[in-house]
A and B are shown apart, each in its own frame.
Chain A
Amino acid sequence: MTTVARRKTPKSGTGSAGPGAVRRPGRAEVTRSPGEPRRLGWLYVLPALLVYGGFLLWPLVRGAQFSLYDWDGLGTAEWAGLSNYTGIWTDPALRGAFGHLLILVVFYAVLPCCIAFVLVAVMSRTKIRGLVFFRTVLFLPQVVAMVAVAVAWQWVYSADGPVNTVLGWLHDLGLPDWRRGWLGDFTFALPAVGLVGTWVGIGLALVLFLAGVQKIPRELYEAARIDGAGPVREFFAVTLPGLRRELAVALTLTTIMAIRNFDLIYMATAGGPGNSTKVPAYEVYNRTFNTGEVGLGCAIGITLAVLAFAATAGIGRLVEGKGA
């Protein structure tokens, strides 16, 4: 499958980017050609490095610096040490925001992967007709601007929207009346936002797993059959281990999506009602521009960068294991 084949190109690149131990025998070939000035490489790298350094790395450094001060954005800043970071844990609203992030990770990452796994297990490994079409449609939520997605889902959850319409029918059938303004409800707003993430993530996980299953050698399944494995055993013994790499990719991408979900929260709930959908990504903005706590906002931002880095570095290792 093209998707997978393409993905591998950069992967092998990354692998050998490290200490280079694996590639050492081939190193002589990669050396500069004779007559190539030693510093030429720098000339090619420099323009990109300057913009990157000036507008990404430098703000990162400045953010770390700001996070150590108490500053309202206007007056003079006062040294605060690490108090903004400890503030993240002592301020109940912020602790709550990180708690919400944890819940959203379940909705954005864990749930889509579980659902996609069940679907892949149910589906047999036959050639799927119209796979390109299904892949295109399932992946569509990934490319639509989150701002537009937010508007669409506000309608889905609105008082007269499709969710309440269906619940209205169920009510007519004798079930209790479950209709409500979902995004304005203290209990249900967060799960409602989470389900939008689930919706975005399922397609991604499914596309990845479908591609992965096709790569698992047929003989493994035949061997499992001969050993008398049922469909469940077969799934846990063959399919699940075979999809480790895809699972790691899906979990990483969706977790990052959960961490960076400012757009959806800002558009759909603005953290409300009350604090019930406040998340760190939104609090970076909120604390800086609404409550004038710039240092705190930057501390949350740096914490998010650490979390995003830990997620990318950690999930792969966790899922694929050291030997894989």
Chain B
Amino acid sequence: MSTRGERLVNHAVLAVFAVIAVFPMIGIVTQALRLPGLDFSTFGTAWREGHFATYLRNSVIVTSITVVVSATLSIMAGYALGTMRFRGATAVFLLFLAGLTIPTETIVVPLYFDLRSMGLDNTYAGLILPQVAMSVAFGTFWMRAYFRSVPRSLLEAARIDGASSWTTLWRVLVPIGRPAILTMLLLTTMWTWNEFLLPLVIINSDEALRTAPLGLSFFQGSHKTDYPLLMAGALIIAAPVVIVYVFLQRQFIAGMLSGAIKE
């Protein structure tokens, strides 16, 4: 049914666009590592001058706390909304759903003034709490969908065995829901790691608390057109997410495309 020629066209088209997709990334890697010679000196200079060790550490702290807290809260909320019936459940769900479309741009200004008056600007908490809130909107929505798909009989079986709702959740449902949970963890990790506007506004004076993307923007400010150096910085901050993505691309893509069900 398919001739050789057709197959060739398909692959040629895909190959061309694959090259276009990675072209700027290849630029980053070749310049940062001075390929094909492989010279890490630019990379080392960027690492030291850009204080990326500190910024990566901050990003790891903020991202891991945000992801763990938001996942726990999302699993609990999704469990209730997906398996229990209580007054106001639908309203609560719609409230979470509404949050999916709210851009960071909308809330960042009031957040800045309110967090500042609470003394939470230039703190980890000031970065983590709003990002938990943003992640929980998607997470609850995502986990609710999973819990709804769980066969009712499973819940009943657990109950007959004498398990409380709490035990049922963590001992029965969470272990078998690992694929759905993994996707959620990956997406929140990526969003939190890549977030730029919020740290830019919240971490406005304490340099030691800058996250990786924020660090890159300040690094750019001081090395305007030194592209090899800037590319090294870009490589440092983008690499962690890209590496995870390469290994778990299926979960990433599935989750990101599901983002469109914000109807």
Q: Are the chains A and B members of one assembly?
A: yes
Q: A52 contacts which of B20, B23, B133, B193 (Cβ < 8 Å)?
A: B133
**Of B100, B106, B112, B258, which one neighbours A7 at CB under 8 angstroms?**
B258
Q: A119-B17, A147-B217 are in contact. Are A48 and B77 (CB under 8 A)?
A: yes
- The binding surface of chain A is classed by DSSP as helix
Asked if A83 is an interface residue, CB under 8 A from chain B, the answer is no
Which size bracket describes the interface of B in this complex?
35 or more
Do A56 and B81 touch (CB < 8 A)? Answer: no
Contact among A59, A140, A156, A316 with B22 in the assembled complex (CB-CB below 8 Å)? A140
Given A36-B84, A145-B237, check contact A49 B194 (CB 8 Å): no
Residues facing A in B164-218 (CB within 8 A) are 165, 180, 183, 190, 193-194, 196-197, 200-201, 212-213, 216-217
Beta-carbon contact of B6 and A158 below 8 Å: no
What chain B residues lie within 8 Å of A17 (beta carbons)?
A: 90, 93-94, 97
Chain B residues with CB under 8 Å of A143's CB are 190, 241-242, 245, 252
Give complex CA distance A143, B256 in Å: 10
Contact yes or no, B13 A62, CB < 8 A: no
Cα distance, A42 to B141, chains bound together (Å): 16
Q: Which of A171-179, A232-240, A261-269 contacts B (4 or more CB under 8 A)?
A: A261-269
> How would residues 203 to 246 of chain B score, 1 for a CB under 8 Å from any chain A CB and 0 otherwise?
00000000011001100100001010011011101100110011
Query: A76 to nearest B CB, angstroms?
Result: 14
Among A7, A124, A148, contact of B237 (Cβ-Cβ < 8 Å): A148
Q: How many CB-defined contacts (below 8 Å) exist between A and B?
A: 349
Kindly state whether residue B62 has any CB partner on chain A within 8 Å. no
Say whether B130 contacts A41, CB under 8 Å: no
When chains A and B are docked, how far (Å) is the Cα of A42 from the Cα of B152? 20
| A interface residue numbers (CB < 8 A to B) | 2-3, 6-7, 9-14, 17, 20, 29-33, 36, 38-45, 47-49, 51-52, 54-60, 62-63, 65-66, 73, 119, 122-124, 126-130, 132, 134-149, 151-156, 158, 162, 199, 202-204, 206-208, 248-249, 252-253, 256, 259-260, 262-263, 266-267, 280-281, 284-285, 288-289, 294, 297-298, 300-302, 304-305, 308-309, 312-313, 316
Beyond the given pairs A55-B132, A267-B220, 14 more chain A to chain B contacts, judged by CB atoms under 8 angstroms and listed by A's residue number, are: A9-B149, A40-B80, A45-B77, A48-B96, A49-B77, A55-B130, A62-B113, A66-B109, A126-B7, A151-B230, A253-B257, A284-B105, A298-B109, A309-B101
Sampled A-B contacts (18; CB under 8 Å): A14-B145, A33-B156, A36-B165, A41-B86, A48-B73, A48-B76, A63-B109, A65-B110, A66-B109, A122-B13, A124-B2, A126-B1, A145-B238, A146-B194, A147-B234, A148-B213, A253-B259, A301-B103
